[in-house]
Amino acid sequence: MVIQQTLTLVKPDGVARGLTGEIIKRFEQRGLKIVALKLVKVDMDHAKKHYTEDISERHGEKIRLQLLDFITEGPVVAMIIEGIDAIENVRKLVGVTESKSALPGTIRGDFTHVSYQHADEKETAIKNVIHASADENDAKNEMALWFSIDELHDYQRADEAHVF
């Protein structure tokens, strides 16, 4: 049993569409615990720390600039989610990055449908309502970027007796 923590962001399009409560509900229904939560207006300096230069190396500078514009266009709900194999479980609930390919039942599969092609034609980032850390290394770095240690809270969920 591996208890992990991971970062999740409800992106500006998810916040603007009023999906934050539904998204949190899905994580909590799965038995995952929210240990940190805040609404943030992301400035460009912070955005550049999140979408680092390695994004340019993997996807090109144009994509990175689109992501920077997108994450700074409105408020973001940042949260740290904790649970058994939380990174993998959160990623499964979120669904694949390209919205049109995300399976029904996932957050992206139920609330988005935009393709890479459409985003490219509009010269914008793909609006897929949510971000989730990709792996343990990303989770560690992203959690430290978005939250200080005193913003995390430890508590017992009522259903934890059934899990541990």
* 3-state class (DSSP) for residue 64: helix
Residue 30 has, within 13 A of its CA and on its CB side, a CA count of: 26
Catalytic residue positions, numbered: 131
What are residue 159's phi and psi, to 5 degrees? -85, -5
* C-alpha to C-alpha distances, 29 to 26, 55, 134, 157, nearest whole angstrom: 5, 32, 21, 12
